[in-house]
Structure 1
Amino acid sequence: MLEVSGLRAGYGATEVLRGLDLCVQPGEIVAVLGANGVGKTTLNKVLSGVVSARTGTIRFDGQAITNASASAIVEAGLIHVPEGRKIFPNLSVRENLVLGSYRRGRARRAQNIERVFSTFPRLRERAAQAAGTLSGGEQQMLAIGRGLMAEPRLLILDEPSLGLSPLLVEEMFTLVRTLNQEGLPIMLVEQNVVQSLDLATRAYILENGTVALEGEAATLAADPALRRTYLGL
């Protein structure tokens, strides 16, 4: 579904991604792990067309999207749920969801809203409520629901557990597993190492803008030297 090769990107004179390679196959959950500042969010922004790649290639479902616009990438079905939720606080829950189908999924908007409400019953209860008045967990549900409105072919989730209570983190990871079991490939970008490795098929560990380690998630999780050196466990 997604192939990234030799990707370099940054801001001004600062290079953040330094020749990064990764891929996501159909049906997988791929975890991209690392501490703050290693390039995870920059990677997501480049994949979404918000930040330009300096060199390297990005292919989505066989098509080159390295220099594609953000709107074209959304229309292709590569959907990014950003870190920090980035909901529209003064709009209602329903209005936020409607905006999720602005570029893609418009023809089935009503059915998709119903699907989101079935997945997140609390959003149905708060459909007319201003999104900024929701709890942190409810806002994360809304951000993911808005992403689902675009009928993603690959969903990038950037730190979905950030700022949530342990119980809500567990709910969020259960949701990710359910979406994947329904056939949606997911790239999970997280600092929550233990649960991400438990959930994922494969994992990449970033360090200084490149891939320091990669492999089957279960193998990485079980290796004590790798846990100690790269994951701080």
Structure 2
Amino acid sequence: MLEISGLRAGYGGVEVLRGIDLSVGAGEIIAVLGSNGVGKTTLNKVLSGVLAADAGEVMFEGRSLRGLSPVQVVEAGLIHVPEGRKIFPNMSVRENLELGSYRRARANRASNLDLVFETFPRLRERMGQMAGTLSGGEQQMVAIGRGMMAEPRLLILDEPSLGLSPLLVEEMFALILRLNEQGLPIMLVEQNVVQSLELAARAYIIENGVVTLSGAAADIRNDPELKRVYLGL
């Protein structure tokens, strides 16, 4: 579904992505892993049309995304749930969710809202509550639910476990697996290595703007190179 080749991008002449190659197939969970500052967020910005690529190609379902605006990327069905949730704290849960269908799937808003509430029963209970008063886990549910409202063809989740308690992290990863089992391809961009590799079919490790390790998640989990990247061993 997604094919990235030779992708280069950066800010003000400073190159952050230095030739990224990766792909996501239909129905897959792909983990993109790396510590802070290696280029994960920059990659997501390029895929979402927020940041222009300097070189390389991004193909989504056979169509180039190079030069498309964020609106056009959303309309194509590539939906990004950003790091830090980025919800609207002074709007209700329902209003936040409905904004997810502003540019895509507006005609199915009511049925998709029901689907989100089936997936996240707690949000149904809190649909009239201001989103900023929710717990961190509930706010993450709102962010993912907002993405679901757009009927994504591919969902990019950027650090969904960030700031959550260990129990809520377990719950969040179980939810991601359920969404994938319903047929939704997911690109999981995370620092949580262990649980991401348990969930994903394949994984890519990014260091200093390049992919240094890729393959089946089970193989990467047992690769000594993983310990070197994260633990310096």
Q: Which residue of 1 aligns with 2:198?
A: 198
Q: How does 1:1-233 map to 2 (within 5 A)?
A: 1-223=1-223, 225-232=224-231
Counterpart residue type for residue 75 of structure 1: E
Match for 1:185: what amino acid? P
CA distance in 2, matches of 1:67, 1:57: 10
| TM-score (norm. length: structure 1) | 0.98
Aligned residues: 232
Counterpart residue type for residue 76 of structure 2: A
Structure 2: 5+ residue stretches without partners: none
Structure 1 vs Structure 2 CA RMSD: 0.8
Show structure 1 runs of 4+ deviating over 3 A. Answer: none
- Per-residue Cα deviation, 1:120-163 (whole angstroms, up to 9, x for no partner): 01110110011111110000000000000000000000000000
1:228 is matched by which residue type in structure 2?
A: K
8 A contact 1:193–1:231 mirrored in 2: no
Q: Distance in 1 between matches of 2:28 and 2:40?
A: 19
C-alpha displacement of 1:14: 1.2
1:20-60 deviations in Å (ceiling 9; x for gaps): 11000001000000000000000001000001101110000
Write the distance in 1 (CA, Å) between the matches of 2:122 and 2:151. Answer: 21
Give the CA deviation at 1:231.
2.9
Please give the per-residue CA displacement for 1:190-228, whole angstroms capped at 9, x wherever unaligned: 0000000000000000000010110000000022x1232
- Paired amino acid for 1:158: D
SS in 2 for 1:161: coil
CA distance in 2, matches of 1:149, 1:128: 17
Structure 1 segments unaligned to the other structure (5+ residues): none
Work out the CA distance in 1 between the residues paired with 2:226 and 2:7.
26
Distance 1:209 1:226 in 2: 17
Question: Normalising by structure 2, what TM-score?
Answer: 0.98
Cα deviation, residue 67, structure 1: 1.1
Aligned partner letter, 1:50: V
2:100 is matched by which residue type in structure 1? G
Deviation digits for residues 37-90 of structure 1 (CA, Å, limit 9, x no counterpart): 000000001000001101110000000111111001100100000000000111
> Which amino acid in structure 2 is aligned with residue 44 of structure 1?
N
What is the DSSP-based 3-state SS (H/G/I as helix, E as strand, rest coil) of the residue aligned with 1:231?
helix
